[in-house]
Amino acid sequence: EVQLVESGGGLVQPGGSLKLSCAASGFTFSGSSMHWVRQSSGKGLEWVGRIRSKTNNYATAYAASVKGRFTISRDDSENTAYLQMNSLKTEDTAMYYCTRHSMAGSSYRDNWGQGTLVTVSS
Amino acid sequence: DIQMTQSPSSLSASVGDRVSITCRASQSISSNLNWYQQKPGKAPKLLMYTASSLQSGVPSRFSGSGSGTDFTLTISNLQPEDFAAYYCQQTYITPWTFGQGTKVEIK
């Protein structure tokens, strides 16, 4: 069974930093691209960014709203993805989800964690 | 970045109704479009991928169509468990982007 478990959320002051983790199991983590998606309370979904596999040079991509402040990384030996968030703003307050998506033949694998809540407030 | 515009933002319908939600991309995305359903307090659930492919385990009353810039999610014979928020998402190019969502409410 595929599982994605996020951790590391909490309360942080504006301008501060936080690092989220996503522990994965039940699939070949090293071969998978991993994404982060966030959702502010009562609002819509926002794609934050992704990191590709070693085969794809660990290439990263980010939403314009977080580029230069957020960094996605991974540790394939630990089956864990990370989201380092710096220079946090009040508008970064959201539930953060770790996700995995891939085509497998004619089927599509789509998995989400339960989310971890980040609150940016003084 | 590709902008995804969903309409309507909300709709009211009754059990048994047929409803359609549209999603328009600001440029062609071929068929690289997903549809998600989200219920309060839960992570989104994939309904359709590549615009018209039904995800395993999703009831056949859900269907998707379109390519290029215009897409539609249709729910036929609306059931009580279908009242939720729905989002489209383009996966054609990063940054992947979502529509703003459509809330389907009980009339």
Q: Is the pLDDT of residue B63 over 90?
A: yes
Q: Are strands A34-39 and A18-25 parallel, antiparallel or unpaired?
A: unpaired
Show which residues on chain B lie within 8 Å of chain A, measured between beta carbons: 1, 34, 36, 38, 43-44, 46, 49-50, 53, 55-56, 87, 89, 91, 94-101
> Is residue A103 pLDDT above 90, yes or no?
no
Q: Of B99, B107, B106, B96, nearest to B37 (Cα)? A: B99
pLDDT tens, B3-15? Answer: 999 999 999 999 9
Average pLDDT over residues B86-97: 97
pLDDT score for B31: 97
Average pLDDT, integer, range B24-31: 98
Q: Tell me the mean pLDDT in the region A27-52.
A: 96
Question: Is the pLDDT confidence value at A106 over 90?
Answer: no
User: What pLDDT is recorded for position A16?
Assistant: 98
What's the rounded mean pLDDT across residues A13-35? 97
Query: Average pLDDT of A41-51?
Result: 96
Name the closest residue on chain A to residue B49, using Cα atoms. Answer: A108
The residue of chain A with its CA nearest to that of B47 is: A110
The answer to whether B43 contacts A50, with C-beta atoms less than 8 Å apart, is no
DSSP for residue A102: E
Contacting residues of A for B100, CB less than 8 Å apart = 44
Cβ distance A110 to B100 less than 8 Å, yes or no, reads no
Residue A29 has pLDDT above 90, yes or no: yes
Q: Are B35 and B84 in contact (CB under 8 A)?
A: no
Structure tokens at A80: 């864990």
* Residues in A lying within 8 Å of B, measured between beta carbons: 35, 44-47, 49-50, 61-64, 97, 101, 106-108, 110, 112-115
